[in-house]
Structure 1
Amino acid sequence: MEAPWIRIVDLAPHEGQEVTLKGWIYNKRSSGKIHFLQIRDGSGFIQGVMERTAVPEETFQAAKGLWIEASVEVRGTVRRDERAPSGFELSVSDLVVVSNPVEEYPITKKEHGIDFLLDNRHLWLRSHRQQAILKIRDRVILSCRTYLHDRGFLLVDSPILTGSIGEGADGLFELDYFDQGKAYLAQTGQLYLEAAAAAYGRVYCFGPTFRAEKSKTRRHLTEFWMIEPEAAFFDHKDNMALQEDLVCHVVAQVLEHCRPELAFLERDTSLLERIVPPFPHITYDEAVGILQKLGSDIPYGDDFGGDDETLLTQQFEKPVFVECYPKGVKAFYMKQHPEREDLVLCDDLLAPEGYGEIIGGSQREDDLDRLLGRIREQKLPEESYSWYLDQRRFGSFPHSGFGMGIERLVAWICGLQHIREAIPWPRTIYRIHP
């Protein structure tokens, strides 16, 4: 009887049975009478033990000649082994070599420089560490989408090519769009979501966004993925409550489903287990005061840089909301504070442990005259925003939303030193290959 093809992640119900695995050799060690084959198949990792006396000699010799990353079909009996990371081993009875590499795999156990690994990112993705990170990323995205769907948010895809500037003219990737003039790679889907919220009430988009900032920090990419909810009749406080609940939900889901991956990354999960409501709230004014007492030379009225965010978040064990920034450092569409004309109703949610901003949000300006005034103040092209202003001309309503950067969230949850590991193909000011 033919042994069924099973993925490593699904081996548990087949204990004591003979199965077939299809995957790759990621490590191997041998003695004269036994081969220990480390096998991966994309769903997990397992050790296959091949004893010389248990297989034909040609099969044993074929295994001896395997290079790292050879693709194979392996048949064997599933045995429980509590010492193994997967909880099981495979007693190998047969092996078919699908393809053996023509040369030695370039990524070895020795220490490699980051540039070498990024040049070989297409191969580096096969490593156990990168698989752990990307499985957590997958869980983060799935958790976000399920959370929003279950709360009545409709997915609305926003355009990547746009004629409207969402976050200010700095940091735009610009191109000529046939005979239509200039177009830009989207910095955000928000303006389009505001129109969709007028139609469907609660909406969100999820996709790539682009910032042409020449930033070299460990928190910045030129292309990243962002999830952006927008909700009709949500005010500033409703908006922050949604952010808090979403972040707590995502962290809880990762803790529930990705414990092995967090353990492999040596992540201190006790720090993540603290991520429960309520989160602390401070105003921009209070944040500047805290920073200045801690030795920062930030003047009042400036936006926070990475060092300021790091210093601030080190004072808290949970994510912290910083609310109500000066109007001059925030986007034109944010609603004016009802008690102070110099401030807007916005928030940044900063992750603890020095990871900084993971969410930026605001209540949107629903007053036509004020919004038009802000567009003129910032010398933005009014004609490009005529459709956006229609939302205030025809049935204006209070509404709020935010953008959460997936890579920053993943970097914090995984405890990564640099955001470039949180995305399969990182794009920075120095890198567009592979």
Structure 2
Amino acid sequence: MPIGTISTVFKVYDAMMGSGKTTQIIENIRTAETNQNFLYITPLLDECHRVSGTTYDEDDNLKRPLITTEDDTSVHYDYLEDAPLKDRRFKHPSYKGGNKAESLQYLIKNKENVVSTHQLFMNLTPTMLEDAKDYVLVIDETIQVYDVYGEYTATELEALFRLGWIKIDENDNVTLRFQRENFGDNGGDPTGTKYENLATMCDLGQLLYVDQKLIVWELSIDTLKAFKEVWIATYMFEGSQMSAYLKSYGVNYELIRFGNKPSQIKHLVNISDDAFINEIGTKKTALSSSQFRTNKKVLCEQLSKNLDNYFRNKAKAKKGDRLWTSFKDGQTAIAGSRYKDEWLAFNTKATNEYREKTNLAYLLNLFPNPMVVKASAMKGFPVNEDVFALSEMVQWVWRSAIREGNPINIYVPSSRMRKLLNDWLNDEYENIIAKSTLQEAEQLDLV
């Protein structure tokens, strides 16, 4: 339920890949007041260097920034001469002197501009957030705001409820709260016990109880509210998990939509309509994760044959231009020995390492975790399953040669995913999202 007035300013830069979102945000940072500090988080280390303008040794697997000089209090990096943000002197958290989290805390405390990965951002502590209250947080691609929390079984949860150690918040009927007054050990203090982490997350309102059996973790809204401003650079934000999450807390964000439309690149995308290799995905739920769990062996055997048929006979693809994806559990069985090095995780974003690939195969039917869908729906703003699936697929496709404006061939056996892709290329989701945005704004009295 909404928490009232939020002073943090939220801006969402929503544009199709290749429309210059990152370029625009970099320019906004470059022209901001010199005393304004930024924490820029992005999925990959490559993007950290792109934003900061720092260099690194291509042979260094950790991609650590090259250092020109350093002393006891500061580190000086080698910045590219033409880097737009060279004068901002962005710093990277490092392992030196402890761990990356400690380094991040040191940098923020000393009011440095910082570039980091999504993973490290999730480890921000209350102390770091207090030090970062005057920072602008820039999120390149949406961060994970929901996840299944599997620390306790349904039986263990029942016991905790029975003991009176946890209860459901009566204000929203979904958030778990820890009851210290009923906790028997240590005089009601769970510190130092196996329940310390549970109590802390309950205090932060991070755990949601769904279907009387499962806990869903939710990012604490206080993490985002701690910053002066939050800028989010993404595509198809409406319908995303993060959009639903912000709306559930009454957050009013400015949606800045710009850039190209899918129809402008439609001529570059050749989707296979071969009935024989598409037959496996005819049903709406075909090739979903649940079907893989119940019929994995048969599915993987047929997909392996179809993949080989498509790459060798239909697309006439060569080894250097092939790229495919599936659920990770099916990767080895589908790949065989021929395609094992050409698989890329379906949730990969923000990398241009595969821009030479022109022949693709998307061998899955994606749905958000049903418990996450239920958790967000219980808070009044459900995740749009089709927009979620489409945005993930489009991000993966954009790792390929199409990001350079070159044509691609793609095999999408799932009839549902294929229809989503075709509808997107015909700009149908541009209209759907715009209409959805207006309706929800009216419901929230924002227009």
Query: TM-score w.r.t. structure 1 length?
Result: 0.22
Q: Which has the higher strand share?
A: 1
Richer in helix (by share): 2
Which of structures 1 and 2 has the bigger CA Rg?
1
